[in-house]
């Protein structure tokens, strides 16, 4: 029997006209519930998703929504293709990735060592980990013994730079399909080859792979494995902070970057599955994006960080806006319009903005007068103030309050350095000894609430929706508000009904 209408969807199983779509991807059709179940068992479950990976000359490989995605929906869950130590790290277990604590053996502090290759480990159980077993057998056969020993708690060991690239290379024999998936990811090796880091890797990593382990790979392939990791690996941390390593998730690597992304990710379970969650509704056909830098950096710092570490020039909508959605996160006040006697100046509050935010060498000009600054002056000033901020004692709120007050004539209240100082204050007030919520004066408690509100206004513009930044601020705000409400109730300033209304208003408003 023929069906003359070409545009009638066909069942994935029997090719007859169908009207039922897959509830997951909304792409595949079925003629019945029975065929939907059959199609799922026969392989659609491995392909069903709310996105597809496309390629274009301008974006390269990128991820696009194939249907409308709801806020909070999990878009992707993926196991790591490979995982291992960062380029340099404090000693930690090559089996479970836990940061190691030294043990006292024969009156000497040291780490437990793998009985075969002598790399520091947690204990005998981790020696048999699937992550370590193959590399251990190879190093043992080649009579290689690691010589890392305990010296001090925070010493970072450069020897770890060889482990994860070696794990990638070994997959050519143990899992060739996954090896091809990884090695064909974007690497930017040509740009990295001229850096001092890769000059060192040429000597250390290549020598280790070829001469120590006896693996038959050419120099370019070895360095490409390292470069693929540097370009695509995610920084993975356990919730308790005891484990930190890097991992490649092949599908997740296809996402494009945006400084105002529409997703966030978390790592689930002991096997650290990557879970991608929509922070805002994503329309069908829209790019699915992630952030590869710190959203609280100003544009100059974000774009330089991305260029240095990821080797691309970001041209997203935020980077293209000299005011960063009206937050002025990377801006300073015009010294002419806000100089001596500025309280009588109608241009008071005028900001210096970049004449071309996509060109870091472009000059900066006042929004209201003709005053200009060279880009290098902005860099110098920004770096000098950044050093001042980094020198502050993280446990002393007065230092941060004085920093904010000291530069209030120069920096916009939303300038990224002021924002970082405010964020430090939010973390101190309520969480540091002597400043726990129960210990805060009424004025400091209100200060914490005001800071949270100011930062939430910025978060709504830079990281809207269900982002981690907004979520953390809301938790801090709620905890402080609960203490303030109880104090007001105990002091007779609020009735029980008033306290309940205050709580409901917060919940509904956020």
Nearest Cα neighbor of 77 from 286, 220, 263, 262 is 263
Interior/surface letters 58-73, b for 16+ CB within 10 angstroms, e for the rest: eeeebbbbbbebeeee
pLDDT, residue 201, reads: 92
CA atoms of 338 and 78, how far apart (whole Å) = 52
Which CATH superfamily hosts domain 299-331+377-509? Tetratricopeptide repeat domain (1.25.40.10)
Q: Which two tokens stand for residue 448?
A: 């914490």
Q: What is the pLDDT along the chain (510 residues), one digit of tens a residue?
A: 333 444 678 888 888 888 888 877 777 888 998 988 888 877 777 667 899 999 998 888 999 999 999 999 999 999 999 999 999 999 999 999 999 988 887 778 999 999 999 999 999 999 999 999 999 999 999 999 999 988 877 788 999 999 999 999 999 999 999 999 999 999 999 999 999 999 999 999 999 999 999 999 999 999 999 999 999 999 999 988 899 999 999 999 999 999 999 999 999 998 999 999 999 999 999 999 999 999 999 999 999 999 999 999 999 999 999 999 999 999 999 998 887 665 545 557 899 999 999 999 999 999 999 999 999 999 999 999 999 999 999 899 999 999 999 999 899 999 999 999 999 999 999 999 999 999 999 999 999 999 999 999 999 999 999 999 999 999 999 999 999 999 999 988 888 887 777 766 665 555
Separation of alpha carbons 160 and 119, rounded Å: 10
Q: For residues 465 and 460, what is the distance between their CA atoms, to the nearest angstrom? A: 7
C-beta of residue 83 within 8 angstroms of C-beta of residue 236: yes
Q: Are 422 and 455 in contact (CB under 8 A)?
A: yes
Tokens read off for 238: 């356990």
Note the pLDDT of residue 5: 41
* Domains of the chain by residue range: 1-48, 82-248, 299-331+377-509
Residue 330 Cα distances to 326, 416, 425, angstroms: 11, 6, 20
Residue 506: the pLDDT is 61
CA distances to 120, 139, 303, 364, 446 from 82, rounded to whole Å, are: 20, 19, 28, 44, 47
**Helix (H) or strand (E) segment spanning residue 378:** helix 375-390
Helix (H) or strand (E) segment spanning residue 379: helix 375-390
User: Vertex 473, ends 470 and 476: CA angle to 5°?
Assistant: 150
**Considering only CA atoms, which of 442, 422, 435, 423 is closest in space to residue 490?**
442
Q: Which residues of 174-184 are buried (b: 16+ CB within 10 A; e: fewer)?
A: eeeebbebbbe
């Amino acid at each position: 029997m023929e069906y003359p209408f070409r545009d009638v969807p066909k069942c994935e199983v029997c090719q007859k006209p169908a009207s039922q779509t897959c509830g997951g991807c909304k792409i595949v059709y079925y003629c019945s519930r029975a065929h939907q179940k059959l199609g799922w068992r026969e392989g659609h479950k491995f392909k069903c998703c709310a996105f597809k990976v496309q390629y274009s000359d301008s974006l390269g490989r990128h991820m696009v929504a194939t249907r409308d995605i709801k806020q909070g929906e999990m878009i992707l869950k993926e196991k790591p293709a490979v995982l291992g130590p960062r380029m340099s790290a404090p000693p930690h277990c090559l089996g479970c990735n836990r940061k190691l604590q030294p043990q006292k053996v024969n009156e000497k502090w040291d780490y437990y060592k793998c009985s075969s290759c002598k790399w520091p480990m947690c204990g005998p159980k981790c020696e048999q980990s699937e992550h370590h077993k193959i590399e251990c057998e190879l190093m043992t056969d080649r009579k290689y013994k690691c010589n890392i020993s305990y010296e001090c708690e925070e010493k970072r060991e450069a020897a770890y730079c060889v482990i994860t690239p070696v794990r990638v290379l070994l997959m050519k024999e143990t899992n060739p399909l996954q090896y091809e998936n990884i090695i064909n990811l974007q690497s930017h090796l040509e740009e990295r080859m001229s850096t001092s880091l890769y000059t060192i890797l040429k000597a250390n990593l290549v020598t280790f792979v070829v001469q120590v382990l006896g693996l038959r790979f050419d120099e370019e392939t070895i360095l490409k494995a390292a470069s693929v990791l540097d370009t695509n690996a995610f920084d993975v941390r356990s919730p308790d902070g005891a484990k930190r390593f890097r991992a490649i998730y092949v599908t997740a690597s296809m996402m494009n970057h945006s400084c105002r992304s529409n997703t966030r990710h978390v790592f689930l379970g002991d096997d650290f599955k990557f879970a991608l969650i929509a922070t805002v509704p994503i329309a069908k056909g829209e790019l699915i994006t992630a952030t590869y830098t710190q959203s609280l950096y100003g544009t100059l710092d974000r774009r330089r960080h991305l260029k240095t570490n990821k080797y691309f020039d970001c041209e997203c909508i935020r980077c293209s806006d000299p005011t960063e959605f009206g937050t002025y996160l990377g801006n300073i006040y015009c010294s002419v319009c806000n100089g001596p006697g500025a309280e009588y100046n109608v241009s008071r509050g005028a900001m210096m903005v970049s004449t071309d935010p996509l060109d870091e060498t472009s000059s900066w000009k006042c929004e209201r007068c003709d005053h200009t600054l060279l880009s290098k002056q902005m860099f110098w000033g920004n770096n000098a103030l950044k050093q001042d901020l980094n020198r502050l004692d993280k446990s002393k709120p007065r230092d941060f309050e004085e920093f904010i007050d000291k530069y209030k004539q120069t920096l916009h209240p939303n300038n990224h350095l002021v924002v970082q100082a405010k964020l430090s204050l939010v973390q101190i007030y309520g969480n540091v000894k002597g400043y726990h919520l129960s210990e805060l004066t009424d004025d400091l408690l209100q200060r914490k609430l005001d800071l949270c509100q100011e930062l939430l206004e910025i978060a709504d513009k830079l990281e809207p929706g269900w982002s981690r930044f907004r979520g953390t601020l809301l938790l801090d705000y709620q905890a402080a508000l609960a203490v303030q409400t109880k104090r007001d109730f105990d002091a007779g300033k609020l009735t029980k009904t008033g306290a309940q209304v205050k709580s409901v208003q917060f919940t509904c408003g956020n």
